[in-house]
Chain A
């Protein structure tokens, strides 16, 4: 039951009472509430009876105080275990103020803070350890894995953190090999490796070679040696894996294997001729700008079409697939077509690269004064290199009046037919397409003095050194084989050498033999090359005639 007096009125009345005002005066101040206020004021007055306090004896008070201080000492020595955060804060503050407040007693701890910090460190180690486990798992992942991008990122990070180009080149080689292994593993799982894998592999290889081309001599040799081994091993792995996977995957692996084989060949070429390698993959070179991609990338198809052992081509389809220097290399490598007479002259200028591919190993031998070596040693090496065709007499002049690389490339391509007499003059215009099929592989044999077979054993040697890859180059070589009746294995292999130079040797063999009347076949070959008869006028000049026909 509450009274009608309000809380504030009661509080005011009580305050006046507690401050010594008499109840009568207070009630007078609240006449309307006096009836309710009077008993309450009486009760408030009654509470005064509780105010007196009986104090304990002094001894008890002293005893109580001593007990309190004893508790202080007892608790001071007791270990504490507050919350970790509070402990950490106190520990830090104690460490900071230890020197300034030495008088402040330090409380013991149940567990030393250092132990807790050690725990935290262990937790961090485990946390980062799990991250390390994830990274380790990513390092072994395949492209179909969720952590594969992490793997690529790690590789990129490794490359980024390396400042040594040589180390970077090694890394790129290793990463390219990793891509091949991924392809093999994917194929083994029944999956078809994505083309992106091939692209990545190609990118790594190209970058590695570009870096190697900028390295020192010894380092480049080491890198190329390593690249050769790696590409060989990877190619073998890819080939071995092809037998155990599905057909669709086989194609991709075969494609990758072919790419690896190209890179292996590049490495070998680089080891043999570092200068050329530097030019090709160095700054400003054709491979630096990515121009050397076709033979390795999408040019795989062309490779088989125009390579030795590839299907013969006819007419316009038989156009040289390579328009740049890289293609040139394969066309005018060892086994190039023989040349006789004036056509067999060395190139007039000293451009190394030009001559290298024009008169690569296996170039036709030449005899007599016309068979002068090119202006520099390098030219000479390739022009009249091992297996090169022999030439005699005036007809054995170097076919190249100018240094135009493209022009000479197709004039005296692999397996170029020997020519006789004046007809064997080099084409005058230098147009690539024309000349290519005039003296392309399978050019008609020649008769007479000018058409002598190669005189040295290097031809044979080069022929035997030919590889399948080399055989895969140049339709002209294939044409040469068929047109010449493929009279000798040496001819085929000769044509299979990198450049047409070996074809030249083969051609020279053919021309040497009566069968090379196969020359007629060659003329047939000249049919392939299209109008080669036109230029030459004679059968032997069918090649040049082809050139004109093209023209």
Chain B
């Protein structure tokens, strides 16, 4: 247990030094950060959007924002991972909002639900897409908790750090998100055991 704490402390100090160099636009430090976090962030986004090119673009947006934040002296001082996941989540939400506006969807998030649109659901063609579409019917917070916990395999504590919410709130969000997903999948014709 203590060894784990020491490990976390060492990692935290190392990340802090790396961030300090990154704020000075140290090219090497920034490259290392990109290499460390590009794949997790890309995966997180891809699982949310299901498209490689979109995921690449959105991932590139995440790191562009990171550079801009450092440039403006407003970047993260610690826990860069949590900061990047939060930015990624916001970018995904913005992405779906832009798509919603482009397709003249109603503003209410739950109505964006793909399950309500059989044509779009047919386009998904796959069960995965049904689930991803059902996931979009959740609130952004629920989507974030579900994605981080069930897709990224994070613990409640890690989810709490990224979302900035208490662990109890994360559990509650998880409960409501799964119940809502169940309903959406049922509505989408997915077989859910009673």
Contacts and interface: CB of A to CB of B under 8 A. Distances in A.
A69 interface: yes
B138 to A, nearest CB: 11
Contact of B56 (A8, A18, A60, A75): A60
Q: Chain A interface secondary structure, helix, strand, loop or mixed?
A: helix
Q: Could you say which interface size class chain A belongs to?
A: 35 or more
Contacts of A107: 25, 71
Contacts of A83: 73
A128 interface: no
A425 B29 CA distance: 119
Given A43-B182, A72-B25, A80-B72, A10 B175 contact: yes
B34 A68 contact: yes
Contact of A69 (B27, B68, B150, B174): B27
A504 B172 CA distance: 121
B24 interface: yes
B29 to A, nearest CB: 10
Contacts of A56: 42, 52-53, 55-56
Interface string A19-39: 000000000000000010011
Contacts of B131: 46-47, 49-50
Interface in B50-73: 50, 52-53, 55-56, 59-60, 63-64, 67-68, 70-73
Interface stretch (B88-96, B100-108, B186-194): B186-194
B71 A67 contact: no
B181 A43 contact: yes
A11 B113 CA distance: 25
A65 B151 contact: no
A283 to B, nearest CB: 70
A53 interface: yes
Given A69-B30, A75-B71, A44 B25 contact: no
A166 B64 CA distance: 76
Interface string A56-83: 1000110011011101110110101011
Contact of B174 (A1, A3, A10, A90): A10
B38 A64 contact: yes
B22 to A, nearest CB: 9
Contacts of B26: 104-105
B59 A64 contact: yes
Interface string B152-182: 0100100000000000100110111011011
B127 interface: yes
A95 interface: no
A243 interface: no
B24 A50 contact: no
A48 B146 CA distance: 11
Given A43-B192, A47-B150, A86-B73, A104 B24 contact: yes
B60 A7 contact: no
Contacts of B150: 14, 18, 44, 47-48, 50
Which 3 pairs of residues, A with B, have the shortest CB-CB distance? A7-B171, A82-B73, A47-B150
Interface of B: 21, 24-27, 30-31, 34-35, 38-39, 42-43, 46-47, 50, 52-53, 55-56, 59-60, 63-64, 67-68, 70-74, 127-128, 131-132, 135, 146, 149-151, 153, 156, 168, 171-172, 174-176, 178-179, 181-183, 185, 190, 192-194
Given A2-B179, A68-B34, A76-B27, 15 more contacts: A2-B176, A10-B171, A10-B175, A10-B178, A43-B178, A46-B181, A49-B127, A50-B150, A55-B52, A68-B30, A68-B31, A72-B27, A75-B70, A78-B71, A80-B71
